[in-house]
Amino acid sequence: MKVLYFTENQRDWLSEDQPNDKLNRLLNPGKDHFGFPYCAGGDIPDPQFGWGHSCDEFTKPVAQLGPHSAPLGMRFYTGNMFPAPYHDAVFVVRHGSWNKTHKIGGDIVVAKLNADGAVQSIEPFITGFIVDNNYIGRPVDIEWLKDGSMLLSDDYNGAVYHITYGPRRQAGTGH
């Protein structure tokens, strides 16, 4: 059975530290309800619309991705260039916060899944787009090429990066 996973950006103006953006999994089409506008982040009743509701009424996210991290793109990895632990993992592109004193996101994280599709772990994959609490890049989305490598778009620099995996080459040696 194929299952839909998707990211969800949460509302602003509750605080800098909540609610968490989410990675969701749709198991019951037409029946799953992920909480909007009553429950934010899967665990915080919305102060304006949440009256009379409990977050327990709604489908829980499979992972929380950090407050205001702005997950914009995500793809499952089905290629063969990257090591086996990445196969069938979810790569999530976090564009990054605009309204936090201490910025987060601006990276790619990998959600590794258990056999049942639940998230086992979330680990950094590409970081470094935030330096001294300032963006030097803003990743937006990824696409996989047929050889298993990754294209990563960055709307801050107007760039697309090509990410490959293989033996490290020493500069100037050609090897």
pTM for this one?
A: 0.89
Q: Tell how strand 39-40 and strand 134-135 pair up.
A: unpaired
Q: Residue length, the chain?
A: 175
Kindly give the confidence (pLDDT) of every residue in the chain, 175 residues in length, as a single tens digit, with 9 standing for 90 and above: 589 999 998 877 676 778 989 999 999 999 999 999 999 988 999 998 988 999 999 999 999 999 999 999 999 999 999 999 999 999 999 999 887 889 999 999 999 999 999 999 999 999 999 999 999 999 999 999 999 999 999 999 999 999 999 876 666 655 4
Report whether 123 contacts 109 (CB < 8 A). yes
Rg of the chain (C-alpha set):
18
So where are the chain's domains? 4-163
Taking the C-alpha atoms of residue 163 and residue 169, their distance in angstroms, rounded to an integer, is 14
Taking the C-alpha atoms of residue 75 and residue 160, their distance in angstroms, rounded to an integer, is 16
Taking the C-alpha atoms of residue 100 and residue 119, their distance in angstroms, rounded to an integer, is 26
